[in-house]
Chains A and B, each alone.
Chain A
Amino acid sequence: MLIRHAPRFTASEITDPNLYLSRRELISRAAALALAPSLSSAATPATPALQALSATRNAAFSLSETPTKFEAATTYNNFYEFGVNKDDPSRLGHTLRPRPWTVQVDGFVNKPKTFDIDELIRLFPLEERVYSLRCVEAWSMVIPWIGFPLASLLKRVEPTGQAKFVEFTTLLDPNQFPAQKPGFFGFSSLDWPYVEGLRLDEATHPLTLLTVGMYGKVLPNQNGAPVRVVIPWKYGFKSAKSIVRIRLVSEQPRTAWEKAAPQEYGFYSNVNPAVSHPRWSQADERRIGEFRRRPTLPFNGYADQVASLYAGMDLKKHY
């Protein structure tokens, strides 16, 4: 005989894991606050103490210019996940939790793998490279990055013949990135998550740096902790921050900025003084910390190394 028991609880009675996790977080934060009253938000500096990261300077890949002041490089940022203003990332960056963190590397590869961030940092010898960073908004900085060539990582996962492009995806989490929450009338600056992409030959170029630190320390949150990419001959927005996934694909990825304003931000977005942004000239730039504008160089000064990647291409069309 079949005896039917009423279920001991219904599905609706099960606490949503997000709810009890956030409750846990609340308790632990309250405890932390009680234990460390001096760390109240008002006293928190723009950039909390960062762990030092040792790396060997790669002189062949480094500019001889004096780097931009650390203070400037960590308070004047474009990181739309925190907001559209330059000081939003440093003011609001504390909500991002760069540990624990994993980076999924998959797509058209023989050995897809999800790397823990600390594993990733130890995977290859870290190099320091002083690159110039040219923002599409006509300002620039000189930054000593720490990382290793993205090519090393890609080689390890063995891209297959179908892999033609590399797609980078930034973390999607409105609890950590406040500007990912929809605002008034569902208004959002970009279509989240932030997606960027490179052609495979661009991604495996020796200049393309998978970056985990800067100025001798781990990456500050506002600069894309815990791992970002740096492509010095392209406008800054191509260098995706806080990456959670690197996917090898056969089609050209649709990037977040292409979706938002395709006539202004093309897939290639190589630094090019001859091709204006539709609304302003790219002929010159202001190096942060300098008074006079300086001329912008083709490929941001890296033409000798990368111009051959685009041989035969019309760079006015493929902007």
Chain B
Amino acid sequence: MTRPARLALKAFVWFVCLAPLALLAYRAWTDDLGANPISFITNTLGDWTLRILLASLAMTPLRIVFGLSWPIALRRLLGLFAFAYVCLHFAVWSVLDFFFDWPRMWADIVKRPYITMGMLALLSLLPLAATSTAGMIRRLGARNWTRLHRLAYVAAVCAVVHYLWLAKVGVKEPYWYAVALVVLLGVRGWEWSRRMTRRRRARAETTTPRVGSRAENPLS
């Protein structure tokens, strides 16, 4: 992929990820946030956190299934946007919703499983955002860095469970996110098991004598 094409792609991601914020700001400006604005803002930011987080986790499966390489270039950008949205989501909860009532919020984090899950998702994204620079990759070493960034899976699972557990009876959206996550993790699982069998087969071929080939050639 050419450099201008990659830039255009990134610009597109910036636009798509910032558009919901711009729309939210516009609706706030025109007093169009509904009867319960704080709840509306919190829910909108939560929705977009989840969407962008799942989009970032969809990049590797796109490469696996369709053999595309450009999605990988967008992974970090999407991940950082997901982190930005979850920070805003948390800020609205702690400032607008509970107005710095830390004891009350702490009680909810400990006592309400869906809030515990939400906090876990936020906390697991924190080290990922902190180590997102090229310098940090170098400092950690590619192997450690890759291992650390598997926390993205933990974050996504916690985020989806957070939504499943907070939604009331009859709300279907969290199930769609759960299905999407299962598909995305399923593609990775499938790829992983394929790689494992290939590796096992390769090892078997190099270490054991080929019984079959000898049988084919009884005179050797």
Interface residue stretch chosen among A22-30, A79-87, A120-128: A79-87
Instruction: Name the contact of A286 in the complex, choosing from B36, B107, B113 (C-beta under 8 A).
Output: B36
Contact B34 A86 (CB under 8 A): yes
A292 to B97, CA, bound (A): 7
Query: Given A280-B112, A293-B98, do A84 and B168 touch, yes or no (CB 8 Å)?
Result: yes
A261 to B108, CA, bound (A): 21
| B38 at interface, CB cutoff 8 A | yes
Interface residue stretch chosen among B60-68, B80-88, B169-177, B206-214: B169-177
A176 to chain B, nearest CB (A): 18
- A182-206 residues with Cβ-Cβ distance < 8 A to B are 183-184, 187-190
Contact B108 A75 (CB under 8 A): no
Contact B170 A292 (CB under 8 A): no
Contact B166 A279 (CB under 8 A): yes
Instruction: Name the contact of A260 in the complex, choosing from B97, B114, B169 (C-beta under 8 A).
Output: B169
Contact B170 A279 (CB under 8 A): no
| A281 at interface, CB cutoff 8 A | yes
B44 to chain A, nearest CB (A): 13
A137 to B114, CA, bound (A): 15
Contact A76 B35 (CB under 8 A): yes
A264-298 vs B, CB cutoff 8 Å, 1 = contact: the mask equals 00000000000010011100001011011100000
Contact B169 A190 (CB under 8 A): yes
Contact B36 A187 (CB under 8 A): no
Contact A292 B99 (CB under 8 A): yes
Contact B36 A189 (CB under 8 A): no
- A141-191 residues with Cβ-Cβ distance < 8 A to B are 183-184, 187-190
| A139 at interface, CB cutoff 8 A | yes
Contact A286 B165 (CB under 8 A): no
Q: Hey, which chain A residues are within 8 Å of B166, CB to CB?
A: 279
Contact A84 B35 (CB under 8 A): no
Q: Hey, which chain A residues are within 8 Å of B170, CB to CB?
A: 80, 84, 188-190, 260
Q: B residues within 8 Å of A by Cβ?
A: 34-36, 38-39, 96-99, 104, 107-108, 111-114, 165-166, 168-172
Q: List 25 A-B contacts (CB under 8 A).
A: A69-B35, A71-B35, A72-B35, A73-B35, A75-B34, A76-B34, A80-B170, A84-B168, A87-B34, A139-B36, A139-B39, A189-B170, A260-B170, A276-B111, A280-B108, A280-B112, A281-B104, A281-B108, A281-B111, A286-B38, A286-B39, A288-B36, A289-B35, A293-B98, A293-B99
- Identify 11 new A-B residue pairs, CB closer than 8 A, beyond the known A84-B170, A87-B34, A291-B96: A73-B35, A75-B35, A84-B168, A86-B36, A139-B39, A279-B113, A279-B166, A281-B108, A288-B35, A289-B35, A293-B98
